[in-house]
Structure formats: structure tokens, C-alpha cells
A and B are shown apart, each in its own frame.
Chain A
Amino acid sequence: MAGHPSTYEPQYAATRWLDQRLPVIRMGADFMTFPSPRNLNYWWTFGGILSLCLVSQIITGIILAMHYVPHVDMAFDSVQRIRRDVPFGWLLQPMHAVGASMFFLAVYVHMFRGLYYGSYKAPRELLWILGCVIYLVMMATAFLGYTLPWGQMSFWGATVITGFFGAVPVVGESLQQWLLGGYSVDNATLNRFFALHYLLPFVIAGVVGLHIWALHHVGQNNPIGVTPKTKTDTLAFHPFYTVKDAFALCIFLLIFAYFIFYQPDALGHSDNYIPADPLKTPAHIVPEWYFLPFYAILRAVPDKLAGILLMFAAIVVLFVLPWLDTSKVRSMRFRPVARPFFFVFIFFCFILGWCGAGNPDDVAVPIGKGLTFKVLSQISTAYYFAYFLIILPILGMTEKAKERPVSITKSVLGDHAAAPAE
């Protein structure tokens, strides 16, 4: 972990020369020999998957930008042209559009993993916060990108979301018009959204660098949350985890490929195939699936400003989580009371997503007089916040944790651990 001894020996004169001047090969080699806990499960493969997602979005994105035209009169047609006329555009455009969804799928798994195994606790607070920053910038990037094809959902999604800034007291309207570059979402908006959509992925790449740096400084957490103590508690990253990651990646790519080749539009909204029309709002505006839970929180309260604040609070609360969860025990495996609360939390996250897709006044569950999506999202929102602000802080103080294994080796090998390993 922290400064694990380098075992790299340059073999040739050229590599020795380089090693004394810029030890990049050494950095790569140390990366490969990085000691990782020997008990990591498949939930730990999503970091690698996410790295590939980012690279894929950047490569396909730069290619799309070679053919895309950021102008209100041409944007919609230029995306259609990419799909129909540009060589392999039929493949590259869905790779990017579906890729955004797959990226979010992976990031949500990655985050729930962190929540379950307490990966946000000391000494990984900053590692977690950097992850939250990445998530936030990812959301901004995806929102900006979704505007670019300039369909009905692009236009009205951009109108609604920039409207959030209009709710800021006093300066709201000026702020909103400054963001838009006009009185409403228009060509100036599309142009700057394109420029920023191009920029932000590289900001993400930078923060990912810090995230991995922090990871290699404090070391990985693991399913039992017990810190590795001896050499037998860890394995070299390569070949043990390169192989595991590669296997998980293949499964992930299989799902990705299914969507690209068979269902390229399943994750999008059909209204986005109608060119943007500032005179007509679609009957039912919904964001992309990965924003639905937040959209439900936004609509759970009838007040405009309160709704926005609550929605932002839902993300802010993740940033302060390391100090809200007072338990010293990392892994939920040893927290008999917190564990069921965690599963209920996941359940409500899905319910929130469902509510975000529904019409607030429609009946969601036909019990009693009928539970509307609005009421359901209020209940779920209440639980979402209660989990972080009440349940975790209190349980940390009252819960009696199960006994934890003394070491990772012991937990993997049981009593055989006594025998000399390796």
C-alpha cells in the first residue's frame, strides 16, 4: 500500500537511462505489482470497467465531434447523418449514447459497493469524496451531451434543468440567462453546451487520476473491511486481478454489445427523434433513466426552490457520509442491524427511479384510496435522507457488531491459515 517497495529492475541500457530521468515504466510496473487484498469479489471489478467506459466515451465522442454540427438548424440532422451516412456511424453513435447509460450503470454498482462495504470510512474519506466529484461531473457531462442531438427531450430537458438556476433568489434570472447566453435555450446555449461537453470528460479523467492516486496511497478496502496486515493477506494486482477484471469486463461488454447491436434506442426516449420545437413541450418530460431518482426527489415537494435544494442535498449528503456513519465497522457483513436497513435503502432508490418515470398524480400502488407516485416519492425521499441522517449516525452508536475475522488470510483459509501460505 502506501509506498509499497518497488521491485522493478530496468533490463536494458535504454530503460535504465529512462528510469533515471522519468521513471514512467517503473510507475506502470509498480501499478501491476500493487498488493491487493486476496479476498476481493466481483463488486471490485467495476473500477476497471469504469475506466474503460471513460476511455470509450472519449474516443467515440471525439469521433462524433468530427461529424456533429452544433447549430440549432443542423444539429438534429447531423446526428441522423452520423447514424445513416457516416462510415460506421451506425456503430459509433450508439456506442456513445448507450455508453453513457452503461457508464452510469457501472458507477451506480461501484457506489453501492462502497456503501455496502463501508469504503468511505477512514482512511478512505477523500477517496470517496473524489468519487462523488467524478459522479457530479459525470452527471453534468451527460446532461450537456443529451442536449446535443437537439431533439424534443434534449431541448426541454435543457430548459427544465437550466430553470433550476432561475429559482435562486434574487440573481436567479440573470444567472439563468448568463448560462443560456440568451432569454431562452437557443443556439448560443447549444454551442456552449457542446464546448463544455467536450471539456468535462477530460476534467473527469483528471479527477480519476487523483482518485486512483488516493486509492494507491491508502490501499483497497475489501469485503470484510479488515485491513491487510501480513504479506499473505494480499496478492499482486497482476495477474490475479487483471484476469478477474478482464473476465468481468467481458461480461459487461456482452451486455453493452447487446444494446448497441439489438436495442440501440431502448435506453433513450422516442420523443428525442422529434426535432426540438420551442413552441411545444412533450406531454411527458422525463430525464434519462440515470437521473430519475433525483427527478422524483425534485417533484416530491410542491415548492420550486425546496425541490431543487432537496435534490442537490441528496448528492451533498454523499459527500459528508464519512462523518455521518459513526460505526467503526466497515463491512455490512458484520453489521446485523444496519444491513437490512441498507437493503431497504437500495429498494427505495429503485422506487424513486420508478416514481421519477411516473406521472406525479397517477396511482402507483392501488391500496386504500390509491397511493400516487407523488406520495410514494415523498415516502422514499424521506427514507433516503433518514438512512444517511438518522439511521447510520444512530446505529453506529447503538449497534453491536458481529465478531470479525482477525485477518483476511484467516477469513479466506479458515483454520488452514496456520499452514504456511504460498
Chain B
Amino acid sequence: MGKGLIVSETVNEPHGEGAVDGEKRDFIFIATGAVAALGAASVAWPLVAQMGKAADTLAAGSIEIDLSAVEEGGQLKTLWRGKPVFVRHRTAEEIAQAENTDIANCPDPQTDAERLIPGPSGQVNPKYLVMIGVCTHFGCVPVGEAGDFDGWYCPCHGSHYDTSGRIRKGPAPKNMEIPPYEYLSDTVIKVG
């Protein structure tokens, strides 16, 4: 005990005479702390980042869809990145409804043409609406040909989408998302 005390006193004694240089000690203290914090952070980062998307998930790439397989008034559902993609072959009436909507009243204003991607001819084909069939509220899959706007209805908390997949009523904040896709030919698209 006594010995330990003496040892610790000698260690605390400054070398040579004179008082402890407080400023120097503060500097060493802060510098050591900073290095330790940096070290801890660089170890913590991999622990956190491992939870992100893995390379194979990121690489899960693209799918091709043959639009001609979808009949008028029909809808194809397929999975892309674990999410449903809707391909809706709209009827003339549905197209008219989508185009003639006064978007000023929509929570997320977008014209129907803005929600379509031009084909090889440079023209959009309003017959085929391609979108991610995920409700922008909490991610349920809306049911087709339902709701107050004859488009989609989300059963989870009651969001109504129109025939362009735009949100019109209910808790969802945004229109259903349009995935990145391109026309490979007049009837085949590549999503992703």
C-alpha cells in the first residue's frame, strides 16, 4: 500500500523542478482522446455498414418484360428487387381518365405523360403503365381496378390511386413510383 502511494507520487512529480505544465497535459489528453475516438469510429463503421445492401443484392440487376403478353384491361405483376412491378394495359377509358385529370388538385401533381417513358419512336405509349406496385404510405401492394378513382386501392390504410397510379386520396404522400426502364423494342421493356 504505502509503497504504491510513493510510486504514484513519484510518477506524478514533474521531471526536474517546476510546476506541472497543464497546457501540455491538456494537449496530450485531447490528442490521445481524438486518436482513440477516430480508431473507435473506424472500427464501428464496418459494424454499421455491414447491414447495408450486399453486392449480390445490388447486382440483382434487371428484368425483361414482354408487354404483348398483357391483354387490354389486364395487369401483369412481377417481382423486381423483391418489389412488385405492375404492367397495366389500360383501356381507352382509363387513358382518357388519366389524361383529363386536373392535376392541380393532386397531392403529388404529375401529368400522365410524365409518368410514361418514351418508346423507340420517341413517343410515349399510353396503353402501358409501368410502375412499382408499392403503396407510398407503408409499402403494401394496392389492389387494381378499385378505389374511388378506378385505379388502385391500398387496403392497408385506405389510399386511393387513379388510373395513372397517382395518389388522390388517403394517407399515402406520393404517386406510385415509376421504375427506371427502357423499351428494347415496341413490345419489350427492360426494367432496371
Which A residues fall within an 8 A CB radius of B?
Answer: 156, 159-164, 166, 177-179, 181-186, 188, 192, 278-285, 299, 302-304, 307, 359-361
Contacts and interface: CB of A to CB of B under 8 A. Distances in A.
> How many interface residues does chain B have, given as a range?
20 to 34
Contacts of A183: 53, 57, 81-83
Contact of A285 (B51, B140, B170): B140
Given A177-B52, A185-B82, A186-B82, A280 B157 contact: no
- Residue from the set B53, B142, B156, B170 with the largest chain A CB neighbour count within 10 Å: B156
A178 B51 CA distance: 6
18 contacts: A156-B156, A159-B138, A159-B139, A160-B138, A160-B139, A160-B156, A163-B138, A164-B138, A166-B138, A181-B54, A183-B57, A184-B82, A184-B139, A279-B77, A279-B79, A281-B156, A302-B171, A360-B158
A163 B139 contact: yes
Contacts of A181: 51-54, 57
Contact of B57 (A188, A307, A360): A188
Contacts of B141: 278-281
Contacts of B140: 156, 159-160, 281, 285
A299 B53 contact: no
Given A299-B157, A360-B157, A182 B82 contact: yes
A188 B51 CA distance: 9
A171 to B, nearest CB: 13
A307 B142 CA distance: 20
A156 B172 CA distance: 16
B109 interface: no
Given A281-B140, A281-B155, 16 more contacts: A159-B139, A163-B137, A182-B82, A183-B81, A183-B82, A184-B82, A186-B82, A188-B57, A278-B79, A281-B143, A281-B154, A284-B155, A303-B173, A304-B137, A307-B171, A359-B158
Contacts of B119: none
B118 interface: no
A192 B52 CA distance: 11
Interface in B41-88: 51-54, 57, 77, 79, 81-84
A281 B81 CA distance: 17
Interface in B113-147: 134, 137-143
Nearest to A184: B82
A258 B143 CA distance: 39
A357 to B, nearest CB: 14
Contacts of B157: 299, 360
A279 B143 CA distance: 10
Contacts, number: 87
A162 B138 CA distance: 8
A36 B52 CA distance: 50
Contact of A182 (B53, B142, B171): B53
A316 to B, nearest CB: 21
B52 A178 contact: yes
A156 B154 CA distance: 13
A24 B84 CA distance: 58
A283 B84 CA distance: 17
A304 B172 contact: yes
Given A182-B81, A184-B83, A188-B57, A283 B155 contact: yes
B156 A179 contact: no
Interface string B154-167: 11111000000000
B53 A177 contact: yes
B172 A278 contact: no
B68 to A, nearest CB: 21
A282 B134 CA distance: 14
Nearest to B78: A279
Contacts of B77: 279
Interface in B172-186: 172-173
B155 A285 contact: yes
A163 B172 CA distance: 12
B77 to A, nearest CB: 5
A194 to B, nearest CB: 14
A283 B154 CA distance: 9
Given A160-B139, A183-B82, A280-B141, A304 B53 contact: no
Nearest to A182: B57
A355 to B, nearest CB: 13
Contacts of A359: 158
Given A183-B83, A184-B83, A281-B156, A303 B138 contact: no
Contacts of B172: 304
B152 to A, nearest CB: 11
B94 to A, nearest CB: 22
A355 B192 CA distance: 41
